[in-house]
Structure 1
Amino acid sequence: MISNSTLPREAFSGSEKRYANAAMKKSIIDCFFQQGQLMIPEIARLTGYSIPTIARYVRNGVEAGYVRTSKTSPQSQLRGRKATWYRLNPDSAYFLGVDLKHYMMVISLMNLEGDTVAEQEYRELQFANTPQFFESMCHQVCDFIRNSGVQERIATACFNISGRVNFRKGLSHSIFAFENNEDKPLAEILSDGIGVRSVIENDTRAMLYGELYKGNIKDYKDCLYVNVSWGLGLGILTNGEIYRGADDFAGEFGHTKVFDNEIICHCGKKGCLETEVSGNAAIRILSEQLAAGKTSIIKPGRTDSDSPSILDIIQAANNEDPLCQDIMEEMGRKLGLQLANLINIFNPRAIIIGGSLSKENDILLESVKMSIKKYSLKLIHRNLVVVNSSNPDRIGVTGACLIAREKFVQDKLTWI
């Protein structure tokens, strides 16, 4: 059977009958998303609905232009009378994903079948939580939309935002929460700014969503996704569904009180896990060690603009720089210790280490694994899979596109 959507059920409004009808239609569309080209009997078998019911809704989809037919088998020509195959029309709708990182922005465009058709990096756009940056971001997104060639068919956009994000209400409580925006959800402001209906999602949950459908965890129903980037976030997958919490704020792993240090986190508190396990922490620790007289192939920057980057530290560690190796190993040990606590609580089947600090960083990964084995219960971790993200640079924007597509499907179920 095709599983239910991992997006919140609040998106399906109306009576219970209407919800059941929407769920049935959604399961039909999911068949196309997961299987590609299908015949009506196959869809009936996968969903459990009757052939006449499936035929009626698929026919409506064809009439609306979202489904197309083919008389040819995907594998070979059929003998005798050719069966009718159905698949989604990829050009009928497009979906925009915008992934905001500390050091760049990535925009991607996906068609209805889930294929990426355009993508662009904006490395000159360094993130800042200011109205000026917000305006520049919207300007770049608008330019991308105009140059896409399919502007009128872009149905939905999703922006990945770090920090506390309420997907259901379209609210961000950390990023772009300016005083003059208090009475209007950020999702609505973005919709007005780029001319496309928009939703917002926490960046780590978007990464988890991308991994779930296009990455390393398609076969796992219980998983933790750790986003070790400039900050530290956590995505939680339980029984095949993304866990959001009562107010949509689940996963603030980086802001758990762990250390007795005097380092003030950007959340305003001291001793957060993120203060010693994150890209920001790695750069600070390296600078402190260099200032204390430690040596490295990385030279201290004279200004903030030429200070070492996360990538510089990873490359130096991979080139056997002892100081950078020590930083990565110690960070992996601390992260693994805290993950061991989560493993004992959640008993996940897999842990994915993602984010910019995970890219080509086997030193961090192996240190995390060793710490997990040391501090978690053997019976619980013995079948655990711990791997790096399939594509830490792109899995977030892929997840954003998929979330935009999911929202479109929920809002447009009447077409079948």
Structure 2
Amino acid sequence: MHIGTDEYDKKEAETFRKFTDFLIKIVQNNGKKVRAWGALTHANGDTPVTSKDVTLNMWYNGYADPIEMKKLGYKQISTPDGWLYIVPAAGYYYDYLNVNNIYNKWEPRHIGNISFEKGDPTIVGGMFAIWNDIAGNGISEKDVHNRSFPALQVLAEKMWNSEEQSLSLFDFNQKKLSVTEAPGLNLRGYYGESIQKLMDYHFENNFINSVSNNNSGIAYENIAFVNGISGQGITSNNQGKITFPFEEIGNSYTVSFWAKPVHPNASLNFKSKHAIFYINPNVIGYSREGYDYELSENTLQSNWHMITIIGNKEQTSLFINGQLIKKMETEKIVLPYKDKTDKEITYNKVKTLTFPLRDLMMNNYIIDEFKVYNIEFSKDEILSEYNLYK
């Protein structure tokens, strides 16, 4: 059980040491082993602190000197903040770990500027840490996962075979592309480098995905076929719903479709477990995890428009009829108050979207030529797609 215990005021060192030992004994008396953050060099003092069956996360040598902790009998997990700390979009520590540098230069036996001998039993492993220090900065569960997954991959490699690497960095980076998260799990909405188009529906009196040449995994209700932008399209005037075979797409993607409202109150929503992309009578935007982002006022009239959404791990962009309408990038927010030194307080607000694909809810819209790509289109490619149908 992790009991925390670090970064207390140095003036309270003896009280802190007593409190730490108290917590250790409570946990151990309940049959558990203890993990804590290394802090006993900073909190130097005379009060004894139990070391038997206690493992320390060694994050900063000024707080816990690795050599001293070994002498005291603590096991150690290498967690050096200068290598392995992530604070998303904060402007300090890492936003994404430098995984290439870790692969080439770091081993678990290295803690800051201290290196132990290979196989030293005081080192029991390594660990990265993600700290969500800043509330309200738009960082979602998806954003955290996108940062943790590559960190997990490189640390897993270093834990497993750190001193006898048989792969070059290039080969490691190639092989990790094929490593999935877990059976049935795809929080990143990632479909591999080899798949460039995920879905392509023309709605020619059927729901066949021309990528797979079948209609597997699709379901629908209250949907009718009508004239589309090219051949047939689909519509509903009674809360139509289409369920697609994919939950969402993230990483780098392009989602494109033609839409025509046929009533002033026309609306459509793409939904997943985690997000909604919506076009309502007033606004085009998206919501996820309590954050709502407006891309544009809805100026779509009763004619055809090609809607294109481009997304990646840093931004989300809306194009209408081949033209960029808005790019949602990380925004610097200045708070209306200052810190104790009269310094301006700022933070970065992230506006990413893992695009929801599971359900399309539509009312009084005609939809046609729905396509989802596992790559980002360039502006020229978007315009070319528009020119095919205009």
Higher share of residues assigned strand: 2
TM over 0.5: no
Give 1 or 2 for the bigger CA radius of gyration. 2
Which protein, 1 or 2, shows the higher relative CO under an 8 Å CA cutoff with sep ≥ 6?
1
* Higher fraction of helix: 1
Superposition TM-score, scaled by structure 1 size: 0.24
